[in-house]
Amino acid sequence: MKHLTLTPLTAEHFAPFGDVISTEDKDFFLINSGSTERYHSLATVNTGADDGRAIISIFRKPVADRFPLQVKLLERHPQGSQAFIPLQRKPFLILVAPPADAPDPSAMRLFLSDGRQGVNYHAGVWHHPLITLEDDDQLLIVDRQGQLPNCDEVFFDDADAWWIAHPFQEKEEGTL
């Protein structure tokens, strides 16, 4: 079994795919009579052309993913960005590949949010649908709504599958 290894979720490592949404090591300015720190413009919402507009949603995933998880597909949103912001401080996994006509499995990168970090995928970045580690997880989503189709999916051959191990559990016996 080919397993993906984790890359540290830093602004630099994630830059080819989008933005890390976090207050850690970020500048802020004080507002509201000095009572509040504003971490300004951590990411930009791209709603593309035409009638695109930014919308805010919540993804609630009652059951966490099961591991080892086979990477069966990646998807992309060519018309706009998509941000995932944890609402319950639960760690979650992020699997991405650079923008291209088709995803390059060898260029896939796996990241782990510590539950405080969010991510904003730039338009066209290939990514796996939300991968959660704990039941009943909820994340705030900021992405695009419009008339143009905005979700391309590419499915991989089971015979040459990549797998994801649970980041906090020992690999099952017999896995590489």
Ligand X SMILES: NC(=O)N[C@@H](O)C(=O)O
- Cβ-contact 166, 112 below 8 angstroms: no
CA distances to 21, 27, 38, 40, 98 from 35, in Å: 22, 16, 10, 15, 40
Q: Residue 139 is inside which H or E element, if any?
A: strand 137-145
Considering only CA atoms, which of 1, 6, 2, 11 is closest in space to residue 95?
A: 6
In angstroms, the CA 135 to CA 93 distance is 14
**# of chain residues touching ligand X (CB under 6 A):** 6
Among ligand X, Ni ion, none, the one that 4 touches (CB under a kind-dependent 5 to 8 A) is: none
- Least spacing, CB of residue 110 vs ligand X, in Å: 15
Q: What minimum distance in Å lies between the beta carbon of 170 and Ni ion?
A: 30
d(CA 3, CA 169): 14
SS3 138: strand
Nearer to ligand X, 47 or 82 (CB): 82
CB of 84 closer than 8 Å to CB of 141: yes
Exposure of 126 in the CB half-sphere (CA atoms within 13 A): 22
Q: Which residue is nearest to ligand X (CB)?
A: 129
Residue 16, binding choice from ligand X, Ni ion, none, Cβ under 5 to 8 Å by partner class: none
Q: Does 78 bind ligand X (CB under 6 A)?
A: no
**Which of 56, 102, 148, 151 is close enough to bind ligand X by CB under 6 A?**
151
Cβ 46 to Ni ion shortest distance, Å = 13
Which of 130, 140, 154, 161 contacts ligand X by CB under 6 A?
130
* Position 129 contacts ligand X (CB under 6 A): yes
Interaction between residue 64 and ligand X (CB under 6 A): no
Q: What angle do CA 48, 26, 31 make, to 5 degrees?
A: 90
User: What is the pattern of x (binds Ni ion, CB under 5 A) and - over residues 66-105?
Assistant: ----------------x-----------------------
Residues forming the site for Ni ion (CB under 5 A): 82
Residues forming the site for ligand X (CB under 6 A): 75, 82, 127, 129-130, 151
